[in-house]
Amino acid sequence: MLIAGNWKMYKGSAETAEFCLGLREQELDGVDVVVCPPFVSLAVAVQLLAGTEIAVAAQNVHWDSEGAYTGEISAPMLRELGVYGAIVGHSERRQHFGETDETAAKRAHAALEAGLFVIACVGETEAERERGETEDVLRRQLSVLEADDNLVVAYEPVWAIGTGETATPDSAQEAHAFVKTLLDVEVLYGGSVKPDNAAELLSQPDVDGALVGGASLDLDSFTEICRAAIRS
């Protein structure tokens, strides 16, 4: 069971240090834990979580190892910092920054080639869901990815991200089972995961963990979700 906290554009180095020092003190045996801070906070997270089983991942990664790509970060740069993995294809990258299935796949491939662990995000919008296109969207988004021992998929229905809405456990299970018919990987659920719904979601047979957004910013909330995973 894997629980990853995506901090998005929150927590500079000082807040990251405070969080990581607190996280070190938690008893979280029995669950794989990953924190995904902003780029500027990766180094302090790596430093303070060294010697623990808690991994640090970036929120994005470029497909070239170097080049004239202002504002981007490469996989070798992340490896040099001691970063364990990266998220690719998050819906916010698709919505706000022009990410496509193809560019997300290029990022995933480059990161895997460099030895990073990858969380590749997929999921339908509310309009696509209402048109009954969920499986078509997932099939398209997954068609550009290949199974890899270091790849996991995060199913994040876009309509549930940051909205307070959450897929029902049954609908999450259905989507996860469908993803696994297309790609032989573990599948995390993301989309308004909170302490009060984590246990029910994580108890579904094809839900292998969670990619947690807002609830990962608070130490108590995040550790409660991790403990729910241990009990699942």
Looking up tokens 């995060």, which residue turns up? 154
102 catalytic? Reply is no
Helix (H, G, I), strand (E, B) or coil at 215: helix
State the Cα–Cα distance between residues 213 and 221, nearest whole angstrom. Answer: 11
> Which is nearest to 34 in space by CA: 139, 116, 92?
116
Q: What element of type H or E holds 20?
A: helix 13-24
Sign of CA dihedral 221, 223, 227, 229: positive
The values of phi and psi at residue 154, to 5°, are: -110, 115
Please identify which of the residues 92, 99, 124, 156 carries the catalytic annotation. 156
CA separation, residue 200 to residues 81, 84, 123 (Å)? 36, 29, 20
User: How many other β-carbons are positioned within 10 Å of the β-carbon of residue 203?
Assistant: 14
Q: Are the C-beta atoms of residues 194 and 162 closer than 8 Å to each other?
A: no
State the Cα–Cα distance between residues 205 and 144, nearest whole angstrom. Answer: 25
Q: Which residues pair with 152 in a beta bridge?
A: 119, 186
156 catalytic? Reply is yes
Please identify which of the residues 90, 92, 124, 186 carries the catalytic annotation. 90
Angle at the Cα of 94 (from 93 to 96), degrees rounded to 5?
A: 65
Known catalytic residues are: 90, 156
